[in-house]
Chains A and B, each alone.
Chain A
Amino acid sequence: EAGVTQFPSHSVIEKGQTVTLRCDPISGHDNLYWYRRVMGKEIKFLLHFVKESKQDESGMPNNRFLAERTGGTYSTLKVQPAELEDSGVYFCASSQQGFGYTFGSGTRLTVV
Chain B
Amino acid sequence: AQSVTQLGSHVSVSEGALVLLRCNYSSSVPPYLFWYVQYPNQGLQLLLKYTTGATLVKGINGFEAEFKKSETSFHLTKPSAHMSDAAEYFCAGTAGFSGGYQKVTFGTGTKLQVIP
Contacts and interface: CB of A to CB of B under 8 A. Distances in A.
A40 B88 CA distance: 12
Interface residues of B, number: 25
A3 B43 contact: yes
B43 A104 contact: yes
- Of A9, A56, A99, A106, most B-chain CB atoms within 10 Å: A99
A32 B34 CA distance: 19
B108 A40 contact: yes
Interface string A34-54: 010000111111001010000
A42 B49 CA distance: 19
A35 B100 CA distance: 18
Given A31-B101, A48-B101, A55-B99, A103 B107 contact: no
Contact of B101 (A40, A42, A50, A105): A50
B45 interface: yes
A26 B4 CA distance: 28
Contacts of B99: 55-56
Given A3-B43, A42-B4, A55-B101, 12 more contacts: A4-B43, A42-B105, A42-B106, A43-B90, A43-B109, A44-B106, A45-B103, A48-B103, A91-B43, A91-B44, A101-B46, A105-B43
Interface of A: 3-4, 9, 31, 35, 40-45, 48, 50, 55-56, 91, 93, 99, 101, 103-106
Interface of B: 4, 32, 34, 36, 41-46, 49, 51, 90, 92, 99-109
